[in-house]
């Protein structure tokens, strides 16, 4: 978990409030490049961190969502929506606040069921405050042992003792130390939650403080080490380090830094913030005599395109819709810069079709991935075969969606954009579904002809006012 050095980012501009300023000032005088200068200094920082609330770091809306989160709909692998679709496939987000040679501050925003894998903090002291939500924490400390057979190095395992294995709920604060308190830990979000971390000194590969990841070892017969007298062999957990300081496959942390002002949309974002939701009817915001005040088309602000990726922004007036479409063979990162929209997304289901009726009916089965509202500054990632590769958006307020596509659309290379609708077929083909999918979860989609969008879907080319990217 190594991040770039920088001052307080404008992406967390709400952090420039008195409590954050007081915490930052205390950290500057309490921490050195070697860590806390004293126990008393560390306690001062802990006391100030205890006072930080979600509203102090611009996360009051997210905290409200966590408070209203309906635990009764949660299944073992996450909160479930209609037809069992997982509604939280977005990655963990890291909000960087500050880093110096003495300390770093940042916030991990975790969707339900997301996991920060088992990792360490070599030579570091870490203060963690749960700002909102509930998570499960599991932490360990290394056990110093005598290894008369030198098998530890040969097997690449090391003994540890469990320190914490329990649920934590906001606003709990913990401290871990270089050699005690649970220096190696993992978190699993139970509800949406945010973890405010203060590290001293910060991670630094150059100074021997790289982040390493671990897993419980599969070694059946651990080495016959000599344990300290106060530790029973039943307490020992054997951990092995993953290769080259790399996290487990699938662990993604997104940095959330781009703001409307960075792409010339600060005025539009202000309009969205002031938008009066009370005047909105089901088909859009209405003015006097019921006239729709947002009849302008969706605008696309083109930023950059190469053979490897493209970047652009869709500016959507309220009630406008980007119809159901796909991203063949593509990975897409989308950040909602401002506003609120409703997202509905699907992934294809690979099935066996013994009757060949799928091709005849021009339909294909899919499973719902996301069907919910999204509010800025949420970021999502979809992949070629998962994460909601086929999606549609309906703007609830004025909003802007920043898209990064890799590789970009290319009809010549088989990556043309196709549009879809829910099929009217009453009796779908008798396909053989994968074992983990219930027939009630299946949605049948049919492609519109010749890659053409639905009638009435118009996207106008807008003027991008942000920084120019040179080729």
Q: Are residues 376 and 275 in the same domain?
A: yes
pLDDT of amino acid 71: 55
Q: Are residues 167 and 269 in the same domain?
A: no
Residues facing 34 on adjacent strands? none
Question: Per the structure, how many domains does the chain have?
Answer: 2
Which residue, 226, 255, 284, sits at the end of a domain? Answer: 255
Q: Are residues 246 and 269 in the same domain?
A: no
- Which residues form the domain of 443? 260-461
**Total H helices, total E strands in the chain:** 6, 30
Q: Are residues 302 and 446 in the same domain?
A: yes
pLDDT of amino acid 446: 92
In this structure, is residue 453 part of a structural domain? yes
CB atoms within 10 A of CB 290: 8
Q: Are residues 242 and 325 in the same domain?
A: no
Q: Are residues 391 and 413 in the same domain?
A: yes
Report the CATH number at residue 193.
2.60.120.10
Which residue, 221, 255, 289, sits at the end of a domain? Answer: 255
In this structure, is residue 363 part of a structural domain? yes
- Tokens 């002809």, located at residue: 449
What string of DSSP letters covers 311-326?
EEEEEE-TT-EEEEE-
Residues comprising the chain, all counted: 471
What's the 3-state SS for 67-96? HCCCHHHEECCEEECHHHCECCCCCEEEEE
In this structure, is residue 5 part of a structural domain? no
Detail the DSSP E strand segments found in 297-441: 298-305, 310-316, 321-325, 331-338, 340-348, 363-375, 379-382, 390-395, 399-406, 420-422
Q: Are 59 and 132 in contact (CB under 8 A)?
A: yes
Cα separation, 188 vs 431, whole angstroms = 36
Averages of pLDDT over each 10 residues, the chain, 471 residues: 35 54 94 96 96 88 84 41 42 87 94 94 96 96 77 77 94 93 95 96 92 87 76 84 82 78 90 70 38 66 95 96 96 93 92 68 86 85 89 96 96 94 80 75 88 89 88 63
Cβ within 8 Å of residue 128, ≥6 positions away: 173, 174, 175, 176, 195, 196, 197, 198
Describe the crossing of helices 18-30 and 39-51 by its angle, rounded to 10 degrees: 170
Which residue, 197, 226, 255, sits at the end of a domain? Answer: 255
pLDDT over 90, % of the chain: 51
- Alpha carbon separation from 309 to 403, 406, 407, 408 (Å, rounded): 10, 4, 5, 5
Q: Are residues 281 and 318 in the same domain?
A: yes
Cβ within 8 Å of residue 315, ≥6 positions away: 265, 268, 298, 299, 300, 301, 398, 399, 400, 462
Cα separation, 93 vs 380, whole angstroms = 10
Q: Are 413 and 358 in contact (CB under 8 A)?
A: no
pLDDT of amino acid 26: 96
Q: Are residues 202 and 273 in the same domain?
A: no
In this structure, is residue 468 part of a structural domain? no
In this structure, is residue 466 part of a structural domain? no
Q: Please tell me whether residue 360 adopts helix, strand or coil conformation.
A: helix
Q: Are residues 279 and 135 in the same domain?
A: no
In this structure, is residue 417 part of a structural domain? yes
Q: Are residues 206 and 283 in the same domain?
A: no
For residues 316-348, one letter each, b for 16 or more C-beta atoms within 10 angstroms of the residue's C-beta and e for the rest, the string is: bbbbbbbbbbbbeebbbbbbbbbbbbebbbbbe
Q: Please tell me whether residue 269 adopts helix, strand or coil conformation.
A: helix
pLDDT of amino acid 61: 78
pLDDT of amino acid 8: 31
Name the CA dihedral angle for 51, 270, 300, 471, rounded to a multiple of 10 degrees: -60
pLDDT of amino acid 11: 38
Q: Are residues 217 and 76 in the same domain?
A: yes
Q: Are residues 144 and 73 in the same domain?
A: yes
pLDDT of amino acid 173: 93
Cα separation, 409 vs 390, whole angstroms = 14
Cβ within 8 Å of residue 221, ≥6 positions away: none
In this structure, is residue 3 part of a structural domain? no
In this structure, is residue 189 part of a structural domain? yes
Q: Are 45 and 105 in contact (CB under 8 A)?
A: no
């Amino acid at each position: 978990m190594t991040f770039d050095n920088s001052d307080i980012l404008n992406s967390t501009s709400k952090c420039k409030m008195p409590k954050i300023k007081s915490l930052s000032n205390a950290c500057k005088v309490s921490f050195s490049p070697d860590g806390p200068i004293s126990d008393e200094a560390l306690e001062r920082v802990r006391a100030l961190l205890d006072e930080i609330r979600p509203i102090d770091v611009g996360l009051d809306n997210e905290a409200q969502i966590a408070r209203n989160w309906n635990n009764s709909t949660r299944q073992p692998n996450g909160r479930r929506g209609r037809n069992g679709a997982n509604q939280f496939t977005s990655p963990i987000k890291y909000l960087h606040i500050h880093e110096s040679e003495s300390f770093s501050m940042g916030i991990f925003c975790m969707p339900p069921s997301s996991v920060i894998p088992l990792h360490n903090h070599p030579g570091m002291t870490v203060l963690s405050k749960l700002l909102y939500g509930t998570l499960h924490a599991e932490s360990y400390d290394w056990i110093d042992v005598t290894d008369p057979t030198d098998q530890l190095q040969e097997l690449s395992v090391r003994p540890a003792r469990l320190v914490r294995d329990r649920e934590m709920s906001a606003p709990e604060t913990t401290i871990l130390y270089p050699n005690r308190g649970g220096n190696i830990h993992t978190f699993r979000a139970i509800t949406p939650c945010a973890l405010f971390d203060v590290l001293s000194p910060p991670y630094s590969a150059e100074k021997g403080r790289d982040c390493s990841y671990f897993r419980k070892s599969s070694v059946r017969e651990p080495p016959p080490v000599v344990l300290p007298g106060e530790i029973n062999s039943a307490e020992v957990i054997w951990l092995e380090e993953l290769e080259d300081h790399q996290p487990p496959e699938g662990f993604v942390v997104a940095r959330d830094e781009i703001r409307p002002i960075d792409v010339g949309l600060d005025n539009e974002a202000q309009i969205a913030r002031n938008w009066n939701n009370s005047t909105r009817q089901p088909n859009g915001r209405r003015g006097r005599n019921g006239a729709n005040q947002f009849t302008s088309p969706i605008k696309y602000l083109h930023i950059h395109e190469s053979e490897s990726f493209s970047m652009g922004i869709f500016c959507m007036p309220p009630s406008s819709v980007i119809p159901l479409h796909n991203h063949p063979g593509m990975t897409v990162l989308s950040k909602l810069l401002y506003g609120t929209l409703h997202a509905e997304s699907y992934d294809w289901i690979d099935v066996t079709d013994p009757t060949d009726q799928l091709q005849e009916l021009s339909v294909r089965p899919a499973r719902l991935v996301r069907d919910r509202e999204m509010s800025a500054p949420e970021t999502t990632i979809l992949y070629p075969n998962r994460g909601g590769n086929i999606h549609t958006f309906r703007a609830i307020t004025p909003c802007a969606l920043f898209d990064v596509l890799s590789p970009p659309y290319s009809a010549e290379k088989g990556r043309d954009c196709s549009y879809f609708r829910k099929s009217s077929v009453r009796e779908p083909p008798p396909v053989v579904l994968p074992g983990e999918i219930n027939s009630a979860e299946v949605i049948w989609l049919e492609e519109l002809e010749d890659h053409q969008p639905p009638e009435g879907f118009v996207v106008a080319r807008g003027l991008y006012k942000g920084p120019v990217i040179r080729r």
